[in-house]
Copies of this chain bind each other. A is one copy, B any other.
């Protein structure tokens, strides 16, 4: 708390006001200029000038008439459907993915390449991801969508543009951001896939109540690895060294076998995909879901056992973090019809809670991370349109 206000810098004030207006249009559009003025506290003439700039920049569009206080028709403002777009990429253990979302977060392109990346050379996988990114960028260009930047969901820990740790791929350090930047001309950032999946779930999962998003929850993504994304007050919680949320390595079997991480009895070692598939005696997660649908007892037992272990880990999560909800995502969302009940039972057994917080199921499944990645890019444009305007990306296509 301070009472001194910095002298208002003209450029800084314009940047802040552009963000204020664009944010209001994003939250409440279609909306009239008068209502934007009323909600932001800016004058109508300021709003008009700022809106003119945002329209010229392709970020805001005029649509049909909006409701007004006095019943007079006014032109409504919305986010421009052809405005800045975000490129989300994902590199995971057994697939690569790309998604383009427009400024409203709506998917405009989505492509998944399924191929196990564990037995491949790093350079080969990175080259494939660059190809996937270029194909997505071409699709965006053909739709007149100017890409603002790219964000890559990675199965491990990134520091800046470098992927430094990938427990399930076992890669050396990779300058992944530079490779994709070279291939696409876009600014690139990296982020852990479990964190992005949690953000994707918060923004697009539709699990909020009364129109507001979930803001305190833990998202569980069950891919080859088991990831956790902790969202506190609407923000991803990263911990002191960006390593927080590693749900897959919570201890669920203290006397259990060694895990790839070097620990023992980790959730991922006891209930990861490999373990479930081996116990169910099937080859793929699709096979597993079919077997469960068909009532195959071996498959059902394998999923039940995974749920029991998952419940132990989630009991500890609830005890330590007290979230408002847990969301089962990734492949666990696909398995939810058979996984949810034993997981809930195990949570109840291990916490004794009569009313534990809800165990929700993601509607985005394995797409949550790449969607969160693309959403991160457009979220930054909405939060700071002036920065976007100052650095028009190389691949920008469409009206100035």
Contacts and interface: CB of A to CB of B under 8 A. Distances in A.
B240 A315 contact: no
**Number of copies of this chain that the complex holds:** 2
Nearest to A347: B263
A324 B238 CA distance: 12
Q: Chain A: interface secondary structure?
A: loop
Contacts of A253: 254
Interface stretch (A80-88, A119-127, A349-357): A349-357
Contact of A2 (B16, B319, B354): B16
B16 A8 contact: no
Contact of A321 (B12, B266, B320): B320
A238 B353 contact: no
A245 interface: yes
Nearest to A346: B254
A267 to B, nearest CB: 9
Contacts of A242: 322
A390 interface: no
A216 interface: yes
Contact of A319 (B42, B249, B254): B249
Interface string A211-250: 0000010000000000010101000011111111111011
Interface of A: 1-5, 8, 12-13, 16-17, 19-20, 41-42, 216, 228, 230, 232, 237-247, 249-254, 258-259, 261-266, 309, 312-313, 315-317, 319-324, 349-354, 357
